[in-house]
Structure 1
Amino acid sequence: MHPRFQRLLGRNNFSVGLELPLDNDWSSDGQRLRQAEGRPFGVPDLKQHATLARLADQAGFRALWVRDVPVYDPNFGDAAQVFETFSYLGYLAGITQNIMLATAAVVLPLRQPWLTLKAANSIDELSDGRLLLGVASGDRPMEYPLFGVDYAQRAELFRDAVELLHSQGQDRLPEGAHLLPQRPEAAPLLVAGLGQQSPAWIGAHMDGWLAYPGTPDEHRRRVALWREVGGDKPYISFVHLDLAADPHAPMQRLRFGGRCGRLALIEELQALREAGVQHVGLHLRRSERPVAEAIEEIAEFVLPRFHHAN
């Protein structure tokens, strides 16, 4: 296991983070505000993004997960956190101190691999080694012709970029040349999906897996498959959460997650841990309550159950 995961997972080998954007634009109030401001569906309100990122850091969440959505596509209806991934991570590195900064996931075939390596090393340097680099092959065909990239070659481009990120390009640079900044170790690579590769290749070349959201039973089956190819490398996933004000509210399953009170959330996280999930990124865009309020309640009542001994 990459040593950086010890910082993410702690001694309990389980932790909780947050997926950006920290907005509730998919809630009923969020939808009304979005329509009043003329924002398309899936474009969040980012006026409080810096305040909420600092709050997450101070509250003890272990990671902020940033998605890579180069172009807003109304057919998908999700602009993620709007800002360009590496630019935003550089900003977050400057306003946070402890929280890991993670991508879920950078679309490698759409990016020039040497510049991806330089950007990743820059973020890692600026954040004092807090980068977790999630990568993927992409799932939006509209972007490939726009970027001048052959969609049919994405598997090969993905493999080449992974090799460069792992090796830091040391065997490919001209004599005497250096790609700066140089890092003492490459950031761990996690893959979302399979990157158009075989499971065996993914298990051998990646440091962890970013799994699609699911129920504990679904994750139990997926974890077993991951252990066959990835051994003890981390298994990470996400939950879309609408945290009810009533702490006793039972779990009501929704797409990619659920609506529940904090007691049911604790039960759900415990079930995910028992299923083999090692880190959960909470996604709060469905939250009917203010995002800051949900973050503070989770920090006070939920995180101590899982982070207290870490």
Structure 2
Amino acid sequence: MTLGVELPLDNDFAARGPAGKKMTSTFGIPDLQQHRERAVLADKLGFKALWLRDVPLWIPEFGDAGQVFDPFAYLGFLAGVTDNILLGTAAVVLPLRHPLHVAKMAATVDQLSGGRLILGVASGDRPAEYPNFGVDFESRGEQYRTAVSTLRRLWRDSAELPSASMKVLPAPHEGSIPLIAVGRAQQSTEWVAENMDGYMTYHRPAHFMKPVTDKWKHSVPGGEYKPAITTMLVDLLDDPNAPAEPIRFGARLGRRQLQSYLCELEGAGIAHVALNFRPSSRPVEEALEEIAEHVLPAFSGEAPEPPHGVARG
């Protein structure tokens, strides 16, 4: 198993930070003042991937603006300030973007980063966004399938468009880009297992995760390796021996319990965990450095090479 981090590297979900300082003025909107330095730090510390989301419109009722920046513009920036860390989306909402634009933007980032892009894609889960884009929410599953097929075709040897002798340039760095399903996107597990290069699911403790990963593993045709990925919200406590206390989609705990918790997820079949520090009561840099020193060395193994280079970098 490997470890990555989910952007924003902020702790805006924590009501109070060190010395009782209020972290942000509006819950769910990170201040981003140190976003560059923290992304560079994660790269230097040896985390495997940076993950970012596609939140086109901030809807106050949801209380979460993601990392605020447009994902593709931000990926281009991150490609220029990092060297080794993979750049992943979790996830681009395909029905709200034209697949020709997605194909070109993703291939551009993949080229600029030297083949470090992992394109996580989803059908979206915020119905209020869709009317603003003139898109039907109820047909998003069908739109998702069509977009996945279009992306595959456009990346395949810069395939010509059917209407004319035109091509989408550039081509991806290594001929294609790994496509990760983030959620099932209104599809069956069998469809996802056959058509995608991996599957990212929401966080669950290990005993709840194992049935999910077992179903995924048994659905992948021919015993092919396709990773199961998850995220985890982490509030890393000062006491390294602090026991785990469940929080929504994660845990509040010390580093030793974090390592045990991650070992259990690995045993349940998870290949990669994206740690999210938004509920952290400690400075993000402290949490990154402590995990990199004491936990990361136990989770740096390489998995078998999946199709289209999912484990690249």
TM-score, normalised with respect to structure 1 = 0.91
Distance in 2 between residues matched to 1:171 and 1:163, nearest whole Å: 14
Structure 1 unmatched ranges of 5 or more: 1-13
Within the candidate set 158, 161, 177, 1:172 is matched to: 161
Within the candidate set 202, 214, 235, 1:212 is matched to: 202
CA contact (8 A) 1:168 1:186 kept: no
Matching residue of 1:306: 299
Distance in 1 between residues matched to 2:96 and 2:302, nearest whole Å: 41
Within the candidate set 85, 89, 104, 2:71 is matched to: 85
Structure 1 stretch displaced more, 86-95 or 160-169: 160-169
Mark the CA change 1:198 to 1:95 in structure 2 (over 3 Å): closer, same or farther. same
Give the share of equivalent positions with the same residue, in percent: 48
Distance in 2 between residues matched to 1:290 and 1:52, nearest whole Å: 11
Matching residue of 2:60: 74
* TM superposition shift of 1:179: 1.1
Distance in 2 between residues matched to 1:309 and 1:149, nearest whole Å: 40
2:114 is aligned with 1:138: no
2:245 is aligned with 1:242: no
Distance in 1 between residues matched to 2:280 and 2:41, nearest whole Å: 17
CA contact (8 A) 2:122 2:181 kept: yes
* TM superposition shift of 1:196: 1.2
The 5 A counterparts of 1:1-310 are 14-30=1-17, 32-35=22-25, 40-168=26-154, 170=159, 172-183=161-172, 184-230=174-220, 231=223, 232-307=225-300
SS in 1 for 2:218: helix
Distance in 2 between residues matched to 1:157 and 1:297, nearest whole Å: 43
Structure 1 stretch displaced more, 278-287 or 226-235: 226-235
| One-letter code aligned to 2:278 | R
Pairs aligned (count): 293
| One-letter code aligned to 1:29 | R
Distance in 1 between residues matched to 2:270 and 2:302, nearest whole Å: 18
SS in 1 for 2:273: strand
Structure 2 unmatched ranges of 5 or more: 304-313
CA contact (8 A) 2:2 2:301 kept: no
Distance in 1 between residues matched to 2:260 and 2:124, nearest whole Å: 33
| One-letter code aligned to 1:124 | D
Distance in 1 between residues matched to 2:135 and 2:61, nearest whole Å: 20
Distance in 2 between residues matched to 1:171 and 1:15, nearest whole Å: 37
TM-superposition CA deviations, 1:257-306 (whole Å, max 9, x none): 10111100110111110110000000000111000010010111111112
CA contact (8 A) 2:160 2:166 kept: no
| One-letter code aligned to 1:250 | P
Structure 1 stretch displaced more, 146-155 or 286-295: 146-155
Distance in 1 between residues matched to 2:123 and 2:130, nearest whole Å: 11
* TM superposition shift of 1:178: 2.0
Distance in 1 between residues matched to 2:236 and 2:180, nearest whole Å: 28
